[in-house]
């Protein structure tokens, strides 16, 4: 389950930010997760709750924001949103697409005290 290592990485970032900026607790943490990131959100939520125990984000609310998958269509030249990496272009129906977004996961922001 790679969600555990993702949660551990989030904890490391939170702890580093707490040291650097002097906050003691996180009330809310918002993550942006791309459609193609391969993250099982229920598993990440479980791991987040477990891994954050004893740290500044213990008890923090976790909000996950979905980001769409995007691709550049070589047929019409547009960047388009796609639901599947193998989907055709929703604008022109072309099949020569280069996925260029939707595989990211990042902390958008934190509400801290």
Task: Identify the CATH assignment for 2-112 out of 3.40.50.720, 3.30.2320.80, 3.40.50.300, 3.40.640.10.
Answer: 3.30.2320.80
Strand spans (E) along the chain: 26-34, 61-67, 69-73, 79-82, 97-101, 105-112
For 69, other C-beta atoms within 10 Å of its C-beta total 20
Is residue 62 predicted with pLDDT exceeding 70?
Answer: yes
- Rg from Cα positions in the chain: 17
Query: Is 0.85 topped by the overall pTM?
Result: yes
Q: Each residue of 2-56: pLDDT tens digit? A: 999 999 999 999 999 999 999 999 999 999 999 999 999 999 999 999 999 999 9
The residue assigned the tokens 């047929």 is 75
Mean pLDDT, residues 97-113 taken together: 97
Is residue 1 predicted with pLDDT exceeding 70?
Answer: no
Mean pLDDT, residues 75-92 taken together: 97
Q: Do residues 69 and 25 touch, judged by C-beta distance below 8 A?
A: no
């Amino acid at each position: 389950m790679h969600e555990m290592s993702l949660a551990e990485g989030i904890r490391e970032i939170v702890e580093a930010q707490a040291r650097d900026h002097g906050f003691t607790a996180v009330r809310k943490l918002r993550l942006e997760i791309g459609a193609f990131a391969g993250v099982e959100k229920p598993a990440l939520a479980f791991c987040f709750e477990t891994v954050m125990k004893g740290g500044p984000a213990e008890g923090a609310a976790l909000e996950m924001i979905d980001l769409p998958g995007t691709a550049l269509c070589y047929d019409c030249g547009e960047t388009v949103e796609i639901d599947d990496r193998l989907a055709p272009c929703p604008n022109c129906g072309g099949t020569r697409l280069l996925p260029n977004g939707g595989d990211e996961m990042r902390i958008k922001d934190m509400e801290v005290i």
